[in-house]
Amino acid sequence: MNESKPISNSIQSPPPKSNGLFSDFRNFLWNRPKIQTLIKFISKEKRDEYNQRILQRVGEGVDHYTVLNVHHIGIEAPVSYVFNELLNWNGDSSCWPNHIAKIERINDDIEAIRVLPLGWKKYPFGWKESFFGMKFIPLFLLNSIRIKRVPDAFDFDNARYLLYKCSGGYPIGIFMMYVRSSIADMGETEQSQLFLTVGFNFYGKEYNPKWPFMNKTWEAVHNRVTANVLNRIKQLSEWRLAKMELGAN
């Protein structure tokens, strides 16, 4: 941890909560994130190698999914603080565009989550199973594969994560949020590193893309929203820690 600049002086406020569609669009799509989070690779081979290490780290076979992209951000807060923010992911979170894509825990449990476009639980105008042939309710249906709440005794990096199988209108295979301690040998200076990874079926082995332009558009939207989500988790985690430190003093 860099002690030359106290956290309490670097974070002034938490990110504001979503208050409507316009603010969601502005904060998560239009806004350019302060820190760019997408990991870029110099070659397909380097990307595949990195993706395989991630999947193996969480016990998933590389034959089933191909990871589309990996985002990460350094956070000046302990792993336990950051992971608690992930566990609080719900429809009241200030880190998620809840008016565009409403979070709904099934049975109030983080093990199963629905993400509803515009908060819709059913199709508009009396449509029963789709809207003009498009099935997008729920946008995501997340069912946990594994939630690693406590690191194993032999884990050198204090890793914890949420790993879901994802179906729904947005064709993702897996969705993962993963946080670990920073590794000095990798040039990481903050206390924690937070990763968000998705594996898209249509970039993997289960589906052949028919509309490359649409896929690239979805990918661009996903990358912008993800970067803003991670920046806001960083801001919120560091603000909470700063608030606690000020209270202790």
Query: Would you write out the chain's pLDDT as a tens digit for each of its 249 residues?
Result: 444 444 444 546 889 887 899 999 999 999 999 999 999 888 878 887 887 788 788 877 656 666 667 899 999 999 999 999 999 998 888 999 999 999 999 999 999 999 988 887 776 655 556 554 556 677 888 999 999 999 888 778 899 999 998 887 766 788 899 999 999 998 999 999 999 988 764 444 444 455 566 667 877 888 999 999 999 999 999 998 998 888 755
- Alpha carbon separation from 17 to 23, 29, 103, 149, 168 (Å, rounded): 9, 15, 13, 26, 26
Domains in the chain: how many in total? 1
177: in domain: yes
- What is the spatial distance between Cα 118 and Cα 106, in angstroms, rounded to a whole number? 17
Q: Which of 69, 66, 70, 71 is nearest to 203 (CA)?
A: 66
The domain of 150 spans 16-94+144-248
Strands (E), 76-227: 101-106, 109-117, 140-148, 160-167, 172-181, 192-200
Residue 6 lies in a domain: no
Please report whether residue 182 resides in a domain: yes
Residue 134 domain-assigned? no
Strand partners, 140: 115
Element (H, E) at 70: strand 67-75
This prediction has a pTM of 0.85
Q: Has residue 84 been placed in a domain?
A: yes
Question: Residue 125: inside a domain, yes or no?
Answer: no
Residue 137 lies in a domain: no
Determine, yes or no, domain membership for 185: yes
Q: Name the percent of the chain in helix, strand, coil, to the closest 5.
A: 35, 25, 40
How many CB atoms are closer than 10 A to CB 137? Answer: 22
Q: Which CATH number covers residue 90?
A: 3.30.530
